[in-house]
Amino acid sequence: MTRLMFERERTEVAEACRRLAREGLVIGTAGNVSAAATDDAIAVSPTGAVLAELVPAQVAVVDRGGHLVEGELEPTSELGLHLGIYERYEAGAVVHTHAPMGTALSCVLDELPCVHYGMLLLGGTVPVAPYETFGTPELAAVVLDALEGKTAALMANHGAIAHAPDMAAAVDRALLLEWACTVYWRAAAIGEPSTLDETQRQAVVTAALARGYGTTRPARGEDEGG
């Protein structure tokens, strides 16, 4: 069997698509994923593929101009959006989903308030980009603007998008966004959700840095004190 070019990146894209399908963030062919392969190449899911069944050989590889350099299938119709994120934000991976809760809230909110400190990984509040037709330069433009200072955004009446330095983090952010949307929806069903103000958000950042939040470390012995 001939070894795939860009095998690592194509495998990352295929595995991410299958995981997102298992998690319920994508269904059928709706959604797309990409990973930066080199300074001038990007591995990206193909248009029309069933994401739950995607395999590395189906993943397309394009250059930064969007021209196919490896693979037999056309890349996603949202290729322009992916390319724009790589150019403007120097991302390592991009995940676009039609996650049900995020999509639902994108139909009614102008932005998702910061209702939990975990959302600071997304930039705090999450903007909702105005609606534009899928696969168009107009959609890419409004989403790119919405992502300014953020690592995730909702797309009005469409879905959600997240980017990160690597695929694992991009998938985690997509999952975090859907979780945050679910928390907000459940809170809003009971009453008016409270949100974290700027002072509270900064306190979280300070505490996380001081405590090494999110990383494991050896336990201290009883005689170490502190």
**Which one is catalytic: 9, 12, 78, 132?**
78
Domain at 7-211, CATH class: alpha beta
| CA pair distance 195, 203, nearest whole angstrom | 14
pLDDT, one tens digit per residue, over 47-100 is: 999 999 999 999 999 999 999 999 999 999 999 999 999 999 999 999 999 999
Domain residue ranges in the chain:
7-211
Helix (H, G, I), strand (E, B) or coil at 29: coil
The Cβ-side half-sphere exposure at 6, using a 13 Å CA radius, reads 28
pLDDT, one tens digit per residue, over 92-140 is: 999 999 999 999 999 999 999 999 999 999 999 999 999 999 999 999 9
For the entire predicted model, the pTM comes to: 0.91
Which residues are paired to 95 by β-bridges? 33, 162
Q: In one letter, which amino acid is 141?
A: A
- Is residue 87 annotated as part of the catalytic site, yes or no? no
Tell me the CA distances in angstroms from 155 to 127, 206, 213, one per residue in order.
Answer: 8, 31, 30
Q: For the chain, give the longest Cα–Cα distance.
A: 63
